[in-house]
Amino acid sequence: MNQFVVVANRLPVDAGPGGLVSALQPIARSSGGAWVGWTGNPDERPEPFEHEGVHIQPVELTGEDVDHYYEGQSNSTIWPLFHDAVEPPVHRRAWRVAYEAVNRRFAEATASVAAEGATVWVHDYQLLLVPGMLRRARPDLRIGFFLHIPFPPVELFMQLPRRTEFVRGLLGADLVGFQQPLAAQNFMRLTTQLLGLHPQGERVAYEGRTVTARAFPISIDVAEIEGLAADPEVQRDAAQLRKDLGGDRRLLLLGVDRLDYTKGIDQRIEAYGELLADGTISNDEAVLVQVATPSRMRVAQYQQLRERVEREVGRINGEFGDVGRVPLHYLFQSRTRAELVALYLAADIMLVTPLRDGMNLVAKEYVAARRDEGGALVLSEFTGAASELDDAFLVNPYDVDDLKRGIVAAIATGPEELTARMRRMRERVRAHDVDRWARDFLDVLG
């Protein structure tokens, strides 16, 4: 039996180094902990096993579960709704039934490995019902929940079928963590509107317990990113990328995103195309590199996005490019962490312009990688990162003119001011890394 249990959609096995795994695996290891999650392969039924000192408790998902619970309710209903309905959410009864069944499976697996009085930390939008289910099965547990994506305003959340069950699910936790204070406030307002509760600040009494809702802005493994940025091989790769992608051009702009409709890739490329069209920048002086990591390509909205982006990339390169020299390099592929850091080092201007994002760790990774205190960050004001990295050039990604203004401002700003801005952002990111985020959350959870 385990004193500390992490519950997440995916297991830390084969996940590679990442923020959540690097922060929580050492805690789980040192406290004799467990991790409950799915392997990522449908219809696989592995037995529990040990991985790097952590007990791994796999949860089986069938192919139908993946279609209904994961790609359906999680990624076609909850994901778009919680991201301001940038794309219309799809609501299907069969998906809701599967979501509830899979959440119950996760809760049962967790209850089976948690020691008496253990601390359980449940993560993200795929498992919103787990805290409530776990509370009913194991009232002795100390339960925390953290939502990595935005939490919508009340009027949007109210569209969700069986909305009250989701609020009750989250109230099963002792501590509900969000990226931003406004998200916690939205949640508290829902407890009043849907359940008639009476929150006092960030606390609300529910079924004889006190539930706390608070913001804990997530961060990155700064030491890992800085270590890669200092690696001579990564630095050589950065210099080679600069030469291969930019040639003799003065400016290299970079976007790195999952190919997702929330990331504002369409608008970013449109703004860049307009800057080329009106002569503000030219193919002789600037190049944009857009890395788009494949994501959820079985979902129709993602397939349509890919077609739109690739069509616009082709149009811009056809119109403004030259033989052997295009203004926009589009890479529809995954990159290793080291390859991403090399790109961060090569880029003069980083464009992080989602329409909505809980935090956006790419913005923080770019800042952490710039040990030289060089570069500029153009950042959407609709990211969680914007409240911390206010020395970035903040833009409204829905407004193509404002996107253009932000890019032009980053180009026009002198090196001394850019260095001062980057230094302040680096201080912020280094002081608030992912380890501090996890410690802060668990200290409050108790």
Confidence band for 14, pLDDT divided at 50, 70 and 90: low
| Section 287-315 average pLDDT | 89
Weakest mean pLDDT among 116-125, 140-149, 176-185, 291-300: 291-300
Given a cut of 80, whether residue 20 has pLDDT beyond it is no
2, 54, 125, 165, 172 from 129: Cα distances, Å: 22, 25, 9, 8, 8
pTM for this one? 0.94
Catalytic residue among 357, 391, 432, 433: 357
Among this protein's residues, is 390 annotated catalytic?
Answer: no
pLDDT score recorded for residue 19: 60
Q: Which residue has 């926009």 as its token pair?
A: 328
pLDDT score recorded for residue 296: 81
The whole-angstrom separation of Cα 312 and Cα 308 is 6
**pLDDT winner (highest mean) among 199-213, 237-251, 287-301:** 199-213
For the stretch 192-241, pLDDT in tens is 999 999 999 999 999 999 999 999 999 999 999 999 999 999 999 999 99
| Section 175-183 average pLDDT | 97
Given a cut of 70, whether residue 369 has pLDDT beyond it is yes
Given a cut of 90, whether residue 338 has pLDDT beyond it is yes
| Section 75-101 average pLDDT | 96
* Domain 222-431: homologous superfamily in CATH: Glycogen Phosphorylase B; (3.40.50.2000)
Residue 68 CB: number of other CB atoms within 10 A? 23
Among this protein's residues, is 357 annotated catalytic?
Answer: yes
49, 226, 280, 344, 362 from 337: Cα distances, Å: 27, 12, 33, 11, 11
The whole-angstrom separation of Cα 131 and Cα 45 is 24
Given a cut of 80, whether residue 148 has pLDDT beyond it is yes
Domain with CATH 3.40.50.2000 in the chain: 2-216, 222-431
| Section 178-187 average pLDDT | 97
Radius of gyration of the chain (CA): 22
| Section 401-405 average pLDDT | 98
Please give the order of strands across the beta sheet that includes 114-123: 49-51, 54-58, 34-38, 2-10, 114-123, 142-146, 175-178, 209-215, 203-206
Catalytic residue among 148, 174, 237, 260: 148
The whole-angstrom separation of Cα 56 and Cα 60 is 13
CATH class of the domain defined by 2-216 = alpha beta
Given a cut of 90, whether residue 18 has pLDDT beyond it is no
| Section 394-416 average pLDDT | 98
Comparing CA positions, the residue from 140, 149, 146 lying closest to residue 119 is: 140
Weakest mean pLDDT among 6-20, 46-60, 93-107, 318-332: 6-20
Phi, psi of 212 (to 5 degrees): -110, 135
